[in-house]
A and B are shown apart, each in its own frame.
Chain A
Amino acid sequence: MADVILENVYKRFGDFTAVEDFNLHINNEEFMVFVGPSGCGKTTTLRMIAGLEDISQGNIKIGDRVVNDVPPKDRDIAMVFQNYALYPHMSVYQNMSFGLRLRKTPKDEIDKRVKEAAAILQIEELLDRRPRELSGGQRQRVALGRAIVRKPKVFLMDEPLSNLDAKLRVEMRAQISKLHQSLGVTTIYVTHDQVEAMTMGTRIVVMKDGLIQQVDSPINLYDKPVNKFVGGFMGSPAMNFLTGTVKDGILTSEHFSVTPDAALKEKLKPYNGKKVFVGVRPEDLFLVGETEIPEENHSVKSIVEVVEPLGAETVIIASVGSDQIVARLDPHAQVKAGDKVTLIADPEKVQAFDLDSETNIRFT
């Protein structure tokens, strides 16, 4: 159990900066998720915490100890890899006990811990098998078991579910969350899947091009994205973006005229006459008649291209001029491809982003 603190951490490969000025304080027992597109530096940061990569600049602390030059085995961490990294020529039992044996843990203690972990992960019958005799999900549980028996201060997980099929991923997600709740060990989890991030993290770090974009709880990241990237990255289907001009606090274009709430209107005053990005999430768009918000100055005129009836809702993909938007409508909405449809945008959920810096104007 420990805090993990990263101070001004950089990672450079020659001229290329993979991680830039990374500052983060992870609290004890937190489940911290690093999320971002491929190449954003999340795995590199995790590997620096693990000690598998050197730190170009800055400090990493586990507990009170600066671990910059401490080898991985002395950092009291355990890691779960994307492709499990189980020792193929050893049995499951031997895989799980390897680390403990190296630390000269007494045999009965090893046996106790392995059996405990196996019970939690429901792999007791597999203890004598070789990894090649196991399915993907079973292998992943063995990899988790290998980490658990070490009773480390921090768990590090590098996209552990990416190699599993969708159904298994959902199961394992829940299992890892439950594990975290019962064991209470600080966990740092890397993924490119924002759904995993949202469902598992106590807090999430969104990264892009080596830089932290935003660190917050899942719901805050969703409701209050600090820039266009975070807004568009979190949430599925993704936030819609249109380009509009500010005219006396109203966001307009040839195809839409949307009024934001009072707070945003205030922040938009310096942008009068200028172009901005307008962001609105698919669930914050409504058909006329589905909401009490009036059509006047809250509407987006679109032409329906694709209708996806999902049962619990109907998703439409529509074109607004040359842009495309997605809206999540009532399941019984009467729309078909080709319809000209006016969508009403919820003023409290409308976001506006600076055209150049892409920062959320609400937070300026």
Chain B
Amino acid sequence: MTKFFDLSRKTLIQFALIAYGFTVVYPVFLMIISSFKTTRELFKSPFAMPKSWSMHNYIEAWNRGNFSSYFGNSLFVTLTALLIVLVVGSLAAYPLGRYAFKGKSWLMMYFLAGLMLPIRLGILPLFFLMRSLHLLNTPWSLIAIYVASGIPFTIFVLANFFETLPKELEEAARIDGAGDFRIFWQIMLPLIRPALATVAIFNFIPWWNDFFFPLIFIRAEKYKTLPLGLFSFFGEHQNNWALLFSGLTITALPLLIVYLLASKQIIKGLTSGALK
């Protein structure tokens, strides 16, 4: 009797999981197959497989739809911000995680306070700030905001990871002749690669998808990022659905790639065993 209940329980769970997976994956699937159809085809048979797999939507979005520009801008802004946040964040997190000094807890609190502040509340003063810095309508306004908003979380995660690294490792390196920076760069930083990957994903995704700040800070067409580009795509082109879907797919693709790459690192880090 219990075996029957076990079996039916398992089947129920599997069914629930498959159903949930379906609701998540199906819209993405739909988006991808729609990107290969013409607009007319979309209206005629929205759920059928595309008649042909031609890339003409993608090519048109890329060239006429200016997607090459939007993509490049998004890439530039996000990668630059990511690089700066990782460099600055890890350099700050290292002493916070491993050294003891006066005022350390105050400094830590100062950085963590940033986690609690919803940065969008400050949009008005931020706008004025960017204007007086002459950064409005340039990618650097976005990079500055993203770096500032990403630092608290980055420092929080990295400092904690740095703290877990054994002190003997540092001491052995010191006796071997390494100075503080070399210990940071050659010994400690490589050992927190999973943490760096985690922080990279957690920052990359919201920045790539961000619509709010580009909307407010960017006016010029040549600096628009993908989400903004997609939006103007809506209005200007009278909802050219086919192009829209290809635009969305282009937007989603790097996220998938980043996620796959980074999650490999994370899993590797989790399974490589204890640091001894």
Q: Is the interface on chain B under 10, 10 to 19, 20 to 34, or 35 or more residues?
A: 10 to 19
Q: Is the interface on chain A under 10, 10 to 19, 20 to 34, or 35 or more residues?
A: 20 to 34
Are B171 and A79 in contact, with the CB atoms below 8 A? Answer: yes
Q: How far is the CB of A291 from chain B (nearest CB, A)?
A: 51
Q: How far is the CB of B247 from chain A (nearest CB, A)?
A: 41
**Which residues of A (72-92) have their CB < 8 Å from a CB of B?**
72-73, 77-79, 81-89
B169 at the interface (CB under 8 A from A): yes
- By a CB distance below 8 angstroms, the chain B residues around A72 are 171, 174-175
Are B273 and A89 in contact, with the CB atoms below 8 A? Answer: no
Q: How far is the CB of B136 from chain A (nearest CB, A)?
A: 44
**Which residue of the partner chain, among B166, B173, B272, contacts A132 with CB atoms under 8 Å?**
B272
Are A50 and B175 in contact, with the CB atoms below 8 A? Answer: yes
Are A131 and B276 in contact, with the CB atoms below 8 A? Answer: yes
A262 at the interface (CB under 8 A from B): no
**Which residues of B (165-181) have their CB < 8 Å from a CB of A?**
166, 168-169, 171-178
Question: How many A-B Cβ pairs are below 8 Å?
Answer: 64
- By a CB distance below 8 angstroms, the chain B residues around A139 are 276
- By a CB distance below 8 angstroms, the chain A residues around B253 are none
- By a CB distance below 8 angstroms, the chain B residues around A263 are none
Q: How far is the CB of B189 from chain A (nearest CB, A)?
A: 10
Complex CA gap A180/B174 in Å reads: 24
- By a CB distance below 8 angstroms, the chain B residues around A83 are 166, 168, 276
Are A81 and B275 in contact, with the CB atoms below 8 A? Answer: no
**Which residues of A (166-205) have their CB < 8 Å from a CB of B?**
none
Are A77 and B175 in contact, with the CB atoms below 8 A? Answer: yes
Which DSSP category, helix, strand, loop or mixed, fits chain B's interface?
helix
Are A87 and B168 in contact, with the CB atoms below 8 A? Answer: no
**Which residue of the partner chain, among A86, A102, A132, contacts B178 with CB atoms under 8 Å?**
A102
Are A88 and B191 in contact, with the CB atoms below 8 A? Answer: yes
Encoded as 1 (CB less than 8 Å from any A CB) or 0, chain B from 168 to 206 comes to 110111111110001000010011000000000000000
A99 at the interface (CB under 8 A from B): yes
Are B187 and A73 in contact, with the CB atoms below 8 A? Answer: no
Are A87 and B169 in contact, with the CB atoms below 8 A? Answer: yes
Are B272 and A52 in contact, with the CB atoms below 8 A? Answer: no
Question: Please, which residue of chain B has its CB at the minimum distance from the CB of A131?
Answer: B276
A107 at the interface (CB under 8 A from B): no
Complex CA gap A89/B190 in Å reads: 7
**Which residue of the partner chain, among A85, A98, A103, contacts B171 with CB atoms under 8 Å?**
A85
A-B contact pairs, 27 of them (CB 8 A): A50-B175, A52-B171, A72-B171, A72-B175, A73-B175, A73-B176, A77-B175, A78-B175, A81-B168, A81-B172, A82-B168, A83-B276, A84-B276, A85-B168, A85-B172, A86-B172, A87-B173, A88-B191, A88-B275, A88-B276, A89-B191, A98-B178, A102-B182, A131-B276, A132-B273, A132-B276, A146-B176
